[in-house]
């Protein structure tokens, strides 16, 4: 029996807390209630819940482009207090923008017989869009929940939503 999955991408202190190393801005915090609502809804529907978390070594090459963030074992790499994981949820650490790069995400989706993937989290123009691209390259139907994704740059956010819909074939759900 096929089922849905909800991906919750990078709802971490370094991105969503004002003191975070790569704070996405006050607008990004507005998605927290929508992400919490999606978690409740999809848990009740027996969807697979998959949390994706940036998790870097202190000398990660990504820090040549971005300030050090989400270093494994630091408070910045922890989930924001408003987001709670449950037993049975998948926790998938990642080191790159796409949640597929050197992770078990592909195996999890196959193991859970996932037929459609729903997306929430940050940043729309980086980790969200790169993960959606890799989902579509694997032929998964994708639904991006517009009220549950955010970016530090409003123009990049709008472009990413448009690209995911028009080029990648994702459905954007208001």
Domain range annotation of the chain: 3-173
Q: Judge whether residue 92 has pLDDT over 80.
A: yes
Fold of 3-173: Rossmann fold (3.40.50)
pLDDT, residue 1, reads 61
83 sits in the region (left: phi over 0; alpha: psi -120 to 50; else beta) called beta
pLDDT, residue 2, reads 78
Q: How confident is the model over 40-81, as pLDDT tens digits? A: 999 999 999 999 999 999 999 999 999 999 999 999 999 999
Q: Does the pLDDT value for residue 165 go beyond 90?
A: yes
Task: Please provide residue 142's backbone torsions phi and psi, each rounded to the nearest 5 degrees.
Answer: -125, 135
pTM, rounded to two decimals:
0.97
CA pair distance 79, 12, nearest whole angstrom: 4
Q: At what angle do helices 129-137 and 154-166 cross, to 10 degrees?
A: 10
Phi, psi angles (nearest 5°) of residue 89: -70, 150
Q: What are phi and psi of 44, to 5 degrees?
A: -70, -25
Summarize the confidence of residues 9-32 as an average pLDDT: 97
Asked if residue 20 has pLDDT above 80, the reply is: yes
pLDDT at 25 over 70: yes
């Amino acid at each position: 029996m096929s089922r849905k999955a909800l991906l919750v991408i990078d709802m971490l202190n370094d991105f969503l807390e004002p003191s975070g190393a790569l704070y996405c801005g006050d607008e990004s915090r507005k998605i927290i209630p929508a992400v919490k609502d999606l978690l409740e809804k999809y848990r009740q529907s027996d969807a697979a819940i998959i949390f994706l978390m940036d998790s870097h070594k202190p000398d990660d090459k990504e820090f040549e482009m971005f300030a050090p963030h989400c270093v494994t074992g630091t408070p910045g790499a922890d989930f924001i207090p408003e987001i709670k994981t449950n037993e049975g949820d998948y926790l998938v650490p990642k080191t790159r923008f796409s949640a597929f790069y050197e992770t078990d995400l592909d195996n999890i989706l196959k193991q859970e017989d996932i037929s459609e993937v729903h997306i929430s989290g940050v940043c729309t123009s980086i980790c969200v869009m790169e993960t959606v691209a890799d989902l579509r390259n694997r032929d998964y139907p994708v639904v991006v929940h517009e009220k549950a994704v955010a970016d530090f740059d409003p123009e990049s956010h709008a472009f990413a939503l448009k690209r995911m819909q028009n080029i990648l074939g994702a459905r954007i759900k208001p």
